């Protein structure tokens, strides 16, 4: 095999590795975004729960105040029973007291319901907060892992890129630009192996016996007549 063909094969290996690493380097930041996004969503639903809890507490306080007002009103109205002069007035005050009693009973029921809800929300909130803590810790770990991986990928990329460009300098500019043109046009694969098949390792189309013969004997890089990629004969060891 000619040194140039060997260099092309090496270059193809470097370029395939670079493509894989590039894809990984593009994918990892998306993973970081997804981790952050999931955390944000969890935090939003925790906030919703907190708001519900605050609203309930406020409602409860308001109702407790209502109850105090109703109690005071009842005491005052009951005192009036001693001041009334006629039976008619007496009955009217009694009726008023009855209405206040009913109002109080209704408020007390509402307070009970709000207290139950507050109790439930307190438990829910406690659970949600401890789940959130676990989630945050997990997200921190996941993020650290992804960042470490990203740093590794970027480090490897710069090494492989340097190796690739030093290998590329050993190829004639004409052959290199031809290789790079094919690489770009053919989905990142410019060099394909041919075994005893005999088919092109990239496009899987059969190679004519004569072309096969030339491939095995010639030291010049040759192209696949179907896909136009560089071919090399891979001796089945």
Contact residues for Zn ion, defined by CB under 5 A: 200, 202-203, 224, 226-227
In which region does residue 45 sit, left (phi positive, over 0), alpha (psi from -120 to 50) or beta (all else)? alpha
CB of 194 to Zn ion, least distance (A): 9
Residue number, 39 or 200, with CB nearest to Zn ion: 200
Residue number, 153 or 200, with CB nearest to Zn ion: 200
Residue number, 153 or 202, with CB nearest to Zn ion: 202
CB of 188 to Zn ion, least distance (A): 14
Residue 199 per-residue DSSP state: B
Token representation of residue 9: 């094969």
Helix, strand, or coil here: 194? strand
Give the residue from 143, 122, 140 showing the smallest Cα distance to 60: 122
How many of the other CB atoms lie within 10 Å of CB of 194?
21
Taking CB atoms within 8 Å and a gap of at least 24, the contacts of 191-194 are 191/8, 191/9, 191/11, 191/12, 191/229, 191/230, 191/231, 191/232, 192/224, 192/227, 192/229, 192/230, 192/231, 192/232, 193/231, 193/232, 193/233, 193/234, 194/231, 194/232, 194/233, 194/234
Q: Which helix (H) or strand (E) holds 148?
A: helix 87-168
Residue number, 114 or 190, with CB nearest to Zn ion: 190
CB of 159 to Zn ion, least distance (A): 31
CB of 195 to Zn ion, least distance (A): 13
CB of 26 to Zn ion, least distance (A): 28
CB of 197 to Zn ion, least distance (A): 11
**Which residue, chain included where needed, has tokens 């052959």?**
175
Distance from C-alpha of 233 to C-alpha of 27, rounded to nearest angstrom: 35
């Amino acid at each position: 095999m000619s040194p140039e063909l060997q260099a092309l094969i090496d270059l193809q290996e470097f370029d395939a590795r670079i493509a894989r690493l590039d894809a990984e380097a593009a994918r990892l930041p998306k993973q970081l975004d997804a981790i952050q996004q999931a955390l944000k969503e969890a935090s939003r639903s925790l906030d919703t729960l907190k708001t519900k809890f605050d609203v309930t507490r406020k409602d409860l306080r308001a109702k407790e105040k209502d109850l105090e007002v109703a109690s005071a009103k009842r005491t005052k109205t009951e005192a009036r029973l001693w001041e009334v002069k006629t039976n008619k007035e007496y009955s009217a005050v009694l009726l008023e007291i009855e209405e206040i009693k009913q109002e109080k009973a209704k408020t007390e029921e509402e307070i009970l319901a709000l207290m139950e809800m507050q109790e439930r929300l307190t438990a829910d909130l406690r659970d949600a907060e401890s789940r959130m803590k676990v989630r945050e810790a997990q997200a921190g770990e996941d993020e650290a892992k992804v960042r470490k991986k990203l740093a590794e990928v970027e480090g490897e990329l710069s090494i492989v890129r340097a190796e690739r460009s030093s290998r590329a300098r050993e190829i004639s500019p004409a052959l290199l630009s031809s290789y790079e043109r094919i690489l770009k046009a053919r989905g990142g694969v410019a060099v394909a192996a041919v075994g005893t098949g005999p088919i092109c390792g990239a496009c899987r189309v059969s190679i004519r016996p004569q072309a096969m013969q030339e491939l095995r004997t010639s030291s010049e890089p040759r192209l696949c007549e179907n896909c136009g990629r560089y071919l090399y004969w891979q001796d089945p060891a």
